[in-house]
Amino acid sequence: MKRLIIFAAGALVAASALAENNDAAAPAADVAAVSSSLEDLRLNIELKVGTNVENREVVGESAAFGPEVPKIVAWTRVSGANQPVQITHIWKRDGKTVATVPLNIQSASYRTFSRRTVAGEPGAWSVDVIDPIGKVVARKEFTVEP
């Protein structure tokens, strides 16, 4: 009987905690305010593709890469973020998405990058930068030669 009472008390505490932390009941006004503030973002994006990043800058920038290049870097400078946000790099080969990389932007002026192995994968490549509301804000196209 003692175990049953302890179990029931524990279940009651857990149910109470779940009810207090239920985010599904967030007011629609809060969601609208967050959405509105994201739409007001005026991000300035600079996108480059190259072979590496050194001293926080892209190196080996090109629009065509030979078969000897094992990896490509998509480097992005973001300015104008008045709050932490997330952008996304979408890597495509011959028009098909091959990688989606979320990147957190932590300050008003920030540099970040993602890297993709392209060895043995010739074709027409591109990288899109997607802003926090899903809009394509930059695109770089390049080729990987056979």
pLDDT tens digit string along 71-107?
A: 999 999 999 998 999 999 999 999 999 999 999 999 9
Q: How many CB atoms are located within 10 Å of the residue 80 CB?
A: 13
Does residue 119 carry a pLDDT above 80?
yes
Residue predicted with more confidence, 32 or 114 = 114
* Cα 112 from Cα 90, distance rounded (Å): 14
Average pLDDT over residues 109-124: 97
User: Hey, what amino acid is at 112?
Assistant: T
* Cα 115 from Cα 6, distance rounded (Å): 53
Q: How many CB atoms are located within 10 Å of the residue 51 CB?
A: 17
Angstrom distances, CA of residue 35 to CA of 28, 66, 89, 102, 137: 11, 43, 21, 19, 17
Task: Give pLDDT tens digits for 10-68.
Answer: 443 344 443 444 444 444 444 444 444 555 678 999 999 999 999 999 999 999 999 99
Tokens describing residue 86: 């997330």
* pLDDT recorded at residue 4: 37
User: Hey, what amino acid is at 80?
Assistant: G
* pLDDT recorded at residue 18: 38
Q: How many CB atoms are located within 10 Å of the residue 99 CB?
A: 15
Does residue 6 carry a pLDDT above 80?
no
0.85 exceeded by pTM: no
* pLDDT recorded at residue 56: 95
* Cα 102 from Cα 88, distance rounded (Å): 4
